[in-house]
Amino acid sequence: MICLGIESSCDETSVAIVKNGREVLANVVSTQIPIHKKFGGVVPEIASRKHLTNIAFVVKEALDNAKLDFKDIDYIGVTYGPGLIGALLVGVAYAKSLAYALNIPIVPTHHIEGHIAANYLTYESLKPPFMALVVSGGHTHLINVKDYTDFEIIGKTRDDAVGEAFDKVARVLGLPYPGGPEVSKLAREGEFTYKLPKTKFDNYDFSFSGIKTAVINIAHKEGESLKREDLACSFEETVTDELVDTCIKAMKDLNINKVVLAGGVSANLVLRDKLLKATKNRDYECFLPDLKYCTDNAAMIASAAHYNYVCGKSFDIKDKLDLNAIANLKIGE
Ligand code: KG4
Ligand code: ZN
């Protein structure tokens, strides 16, 4: 079965063609980062307009790359939430029109389920159940993935997402958007010298606003004498420790011995390394998504859509003309 996947929840217009949820025939990502960089972050209105001008060209490029035609597509998977509402609407409206014109099913897909599915593209034989540590610009979740379409949230951030904290720390350190990779690059030149607050809850929740505020206060207090690279390194070390410690605690308590990393921050090399080491020490299995599938892309959406499709979560477009984007869509809905 061939799925055409569409992703437009934030600042990447992406279209992919994936066979049976695992084999990527094309994955085109048209990024808007250079446009939003000038503003220090994503401007929602500009993002929607760019998606609108890009989408038809990105679809054409994906079909050309896969050497396929519209008639070869069996169903369409589309991110319908969570994300920026105007941005999501472009993908959803396009997907609905295309499904209607081709008279093929539509599979509304959750963005975070897509991030988790990025691991199915990386590991051919990976199957649930497993724990997912989801770390992105909008989410920090520990999810018990019981089956391809059965998700139980074990813990989540009580305030900022970890990617959001990386982006805010980057801004304070004078680094451009998107901040995560920039903070990480600077951290490589520094040492772990600043003691920053770490949050510990009785359950498996996270919190990153305290550490973000601490970083801002240190930066303002030290001014010119600030060792930016040391602060970047201390921030990265502290947040990645918090993520890995909580994840391992949850795995131990819930007796889950397999974990996948997911979301944009899974491109962070320190986090990848720490999770790999911590799981190896306990004989747990650890799966890290291929770097090209860490940040937003439509291949991961097409993979997640495939499993929704197989599990009967697809719709005849004529029965689903009211499909809408949902900015704050919860996982499992
Ligand atoms: O998953 P994603 O592409 O978009 C959302 O769904 O939010 O994640 C984007 C986030 C941004 O906050 C970005 O700074 C962060 O992922 N990110 C990183 C790295 N690469 C991307 N954070 C830390 N280290 C990285 N190497
Ligand atoms: Zn994402």
Judge if the beta carbon of residue 166 lies within 6 A of ligand 1.
yes
What's residue 333's pLDDT? 64
Q: pLDDT tens, 214-249?
A: 999 999 999 999 999 999 999 999 999 999 999 999
Going by CA atoms, what residue is nearest to atom 23 of ligand 1?
Answer: 180
Judge if the beta carbon of residue 264 lies within 6 A of ligand 1.
yes
Give me ligand 2 centre to Cα 139, in Å. 8
Judge if the beta carbon of residue 77 lies within 6 A of ligand 1.
no
Judge if the beta carbon of residue 289 lies within 6 A of ligand 1.
no
As a whole number, mean pLDDT of residues 144-151 equals 97
Return residue ranges of the chain for CATH 3.30.420.40: 2-116+294-319, 128-289
Query: Cα–Cα distance between 3 and 17 in angstroms, integer?
Result: 6
pTM: 0.97
CATH assignment, 128-289: 3.30.420.40
Three-class DSSP labels, the chain:
CEEEEEECCCCEEEEEEEECCCEEEEEEEEECHHHHHCCCCCCHHHHHHHHHHHHHHHHHHHHHHHCCCHHHCCEEEEEEECCCHHHHHHHHHHHHHHHHHHCCCEEEEEHHHHHHHHHHHHCCCCCCCEEEEEECCCCEEEEEEEECCEEEEEEEECCCCHHHHHHHHHHHCCCCCCHHHHHHHHHCCCCCCCCCCCCCCCCCCECCHHHHHHHHHHHHHHHHHCCHHHHHHHHHHHHHHHHHHHHHHHHHHHCCCEEEEECHHHHCHHHHHHHHHHHHHCCCEEECCCHHHCCCCHHHHHHHHHHHHHCCCCECHHHCCCCCCCCCCCCCC
Give me ligand 2 centre to Cα 205, in Å. 20
Judge if the beta carbon of residue 137 lies within 6 A of ligand 1.
yes
Q: For the chain, what is the mean pLDDT?
A: 97
What's residue 302's pLDDT? 98
Q: pLDDT tens, 241-297?
A: 999 999 999 999 999 999 999 999 999 999 999 999 999 999 999 999 999 999 999
Protein fold of 2-116+294-319? Nucleotidyltransferase; domain 5 (3.30.420)
Query: What percent of the chain has a predicted confidence (pLDDT) above 70?
Result: 99
**Residue 332 above 90 pLDDT?**
no
**Residue 2 above 80 pLDDT?**
yes
Give me ligand 1 centre to Cα 257, in Å. 26
